[in-house]
Amino acid sequence: MTNVMGTILRDKFNFTVLDSIRDAYSRAFHKDSKQIEAAISEKSIDALNKVRNLIVHKAGIIDKRYHDETKNLNLAL
């Protein structure tokens, strides 16, 4: 199916990078931009992204880079 939103946008955006995902949502839902922007700018998404990457790419082992990048995100670990 080529008329599904994800299929239409997948060649224009990199859905493996959080900033690109945010850009795609912002452009796709521009009519509701204030609500969409508020939702996709939420700091909890940054925290979830960091924790997800830690689990998937580092087997949950916290290193200095992770610590430095997350110290201001108020993560409860």
Tell me: the pLDDT tens digits for 17-30?
999 989 888 888 87
* Cα(68)–Cα(4) distance, integer angstroms: 39
pLDDT computed for residue 29 by the predictor: 82
The helix/strand/coil state of 41 is coil
pLDDT computed for residue 39 by the predictor: 87
Mean pLDDT of the chain, nearest integer? 82
pLDDT computed for residue 36 by the predictor: 83
Q: Please answer whether residues 54 and 60 qualify as being in contact, where contact means their C-beta atoms are separated by less than 8 angstroms.
A: yes
pLDDT computed for residue 5 by the predictor: 61
* Cα(62)–Cα(18) distance, integer angstroms: 20
